[in-house]
Amino acid sequence: MDDILQVNHLFKSYGDFQLKDVSFRMEKGTIMGFVGENGAGKTTTIKSILNLIERDHGSIQVFGMDNIEQEGRIKEQIGVVFDETYFHGNLRAADIGRIHKNIFRSWDQPLFEGYLKKFRLPSNKMIKDYSRGMKMKLSIATALSHHPKLLILDEPTSGLDPVVRNEILDIFLDFIQDEEHAILFSSHITSDLEKIADYITFIHEGQVVFSESKDELLYQYGVLKCGEEEFRTLSRSDYIGYNHNRFGYEVLIKDKNRIARKNPDAVIDNVTVEDIILYYVKGEAK
């Protein structure tokens, strides 16, 4: 399967914060969840991909093209949604359609109007009078209406109620069905990523900790609940981190099946993507 996005050895320094050797790749027909705590480097990475900031070092290819040398061709084929809308408050949704018709050669006005209807967005109401959720839905409708091949989403479901979030997730799943599209999906709502993501890339303090298949992560990792004696038998390479309380130890282990084979009586819980992130960020290390 061909790569639709490659980020190679990306460095960017702001003095008090640095992206350090960020590398990952995405294939066509996939959704990648891009996760990490606030300030970890997600938005800086996204802005680098979009060539909105100048990087210090590294290269980025989108659709096999350099994102600086072929910026115009690439952006014609990308849909972008940030966590805040940047449409002027005195515009109306109908104005957005007219403006974007002159920006994108592939703009599909009937498709845009269909999304407005689907999301119940009044076309003649000023955007400043929209709720946060309505503004986000307008951004998503706009991003999808010029038939992009790659969607880059920074907290697209933030501020939306669960019903609308599920509706939008279904739209994202439909978007990648032809195996030619892909989505880079940055979100703090990890339950959304567990529903639709194929891969998870986790960035912490400006560095990529892992970029792996979501199913493999959830299959391999587990939380071992044990006492101190069992905990002391673990090798440091067996686990990521642990929490210790008066009831014992809760340990994020890397290979729950291997540990279970060694100790059939071990109590090992399944994990979520959020569990994995929390143990990496907050868990103690022996």
User: Any bridge partners for residue 6, and if so which?
Assistant: 25, 61
Average pLDDT over residues 30-41: 92
State mean pLDDT over 100-122: 93
Residues contacting 120, CB < 8 A, separation 6+:
none
Q: In the prediction, which pLDDT does 85 show?
A: 79
Q: Where are the beta strands (DSSP E) in 89-198?
A: 150-154, 182-186
If you average pLDDT over every residue of the chain, what do you get? 92
Torsion region of 214: left, alpha or beta (phi above 0 gives left; psi -120 to 50 gives alpha) = alpha
Write down the pLDDT at residue 82: 87
Kindly tell me if the per-residue pLDDT of 286 is higher than 80. Answer: no
- 172-229 per-position pLDDT tens digit: 999 999 889 999 999 988 999 999 999 999 999 999 999 999 999 999 999 999 999 9
Q: Which of 97-106, 228-237, 276-285 has the lowest mean pLDDT?
A: 276-285
Q: What is the mean pLDDT of residues 130-150?
A: 92
Give the CA distances from residue 169 to residues 195, 215, 255, in Å, rounded to whole numbers and listed in that order. Answer: 8, 18, 30
Query: Domains of the chain by range and CATH?
Result: 3-213 (3.40.50.300), 221-282 (no CATH)
Q: Order of strands, edge to edge, in the sheet holding 150-154? A: 78-81, 150-154, 182-186, 31-35, 199-204, 207-213
Give DSSP secondary structure letters for 52-100: -S--SEEEEEETTEETTTTHHHHHTTEEEE-SS--S-TT-BHHHHHHHH
Task: Give residue-wise pLDDT tens across range 41-50.
Answer: 999 999 999 9
pLDDT at 1 over 70: no
Q: State pTM to two decimals.
A: 0.90
pLDDT over 70 (residue 81): yes
Confidence category of residue 167, pLDDT binned at 50, 70, 90:
confident
Beta carbons of 91 and 127 less than 8 angstroms apart: yes
Q: Is the pLDDT of residue 168 over 80?
A: yes
User: What pLDDT is recorded for position 285?
Assistant: 64
Q: Residue 231: pLDDT band by 50, 70, 90 thresholds?
A: very high
**Phi, psi at residue 265, to the nearest 5°?**
-90, 0
